[in-house]
Chain A
Amino acid sequence: MGIFDLFKKDKSKPDFSNVQSGSSTNAPPPGAPTTNTYVVKAGDSLSKIAKVVYGDVTAWRKIYEANRDIIKNPDLIHPGQVLKIPAA
């Protein structure tokens, strides 16, 4: 195979140089102030919520500290309560 054959082969490939792309997300960008909230559902516990939002059950205390004004006992949260979720 000569150098001209290689060139011909490349030319036979489709040209994607004019492809236009974009993206969007409902996740906040890094560094954005977080005002996320979580509405407590039946069967939830702080550690369960911590697992969902941080992927770490031991981070429940972070949620508790951010919501001391509405949570008196960390073992007792109620469906419908709106919890502030601090940034990870």
Chain B
Amino acid sequence: MSRLSRLSLVLFLLIPVLAASCGKKTQDTTVQTQQPASKVAVTTVELGRSVGADGRITDRVDAFKPTDVIYASVSTTGASASSVLRARWTFQDGQLVDQSERTIAPSGDAVTEFHISKPDGWPTGKYKVEVFVDGNSSQSRDFEVKR
């Protein structure tokens, strides 16, 4: 096979591969830009044993007793016709404890509280609450339950 023929063969094999990889990059970029950004953003997540009428924590702690009701107060800023706040509570290595959602339509700063309780008491150990806005992880807080 002549040198020119070999070069032609290499180019013939490489062109579809290069074209396919270029096409994939373009597709990925399109997917990212199509994701709509939420106008609601979480400013703080506070943990405690009780909340006031405004939903803010009145007894701020990050270590709870097994019999405590655990509150997470989520402050948000921004406006939206409909945004879903989700609190995902997990234990130790990620075992799901609870997950709850609240759909809000704030026109400015707002406070949303989530709480969990367990009638027979929380197992001692490390926990985490992660807050999502419209499916996107926004903030998380670690806490502990000890005797």
Contacts and interface: CB of A to CB of B under 8 A. Distances in A.
A14 B79 CA distance: 39
B100 A16 contact: no
Contacts of B39: 54-56, 88
A53 B108 CA distance: 4
A16 B97 contact: yes
**Chain A contact residues: helix, strand, loop or mixed:** loop
B120 A18 contact: yes
A74 B118 CA distance: 54
A52 B108 contact: yes
Contact of A25 (B80, B108, B113): B113
Contacts, number: 108
Given A16-B91, A88-B39, A28 B105 contact: yes
A58 B138 CA distance: 26
Contacts of B114: 21-23
Nearest to A36: B107
A39 B76 CA distance: 19
Contact of B107 (A13, A25, A85): A85
B98 A25 contact: no
Contact of B79 (A13, A16, A29, A53): A53
Nearest to B108: A53
Nearest to A22: B115
Contacts of A29: 103-105
A24 B112 contact: yes
16 contacts: A20-B116, A22-B114, A23-B102, A25-B85, A25-B112, A25-B113, A26-B111, A26-B112, A27-B105, A30-B104, A30-B105, A31-B105, A32-B105, A53-B108, A55-B78, A87-B107
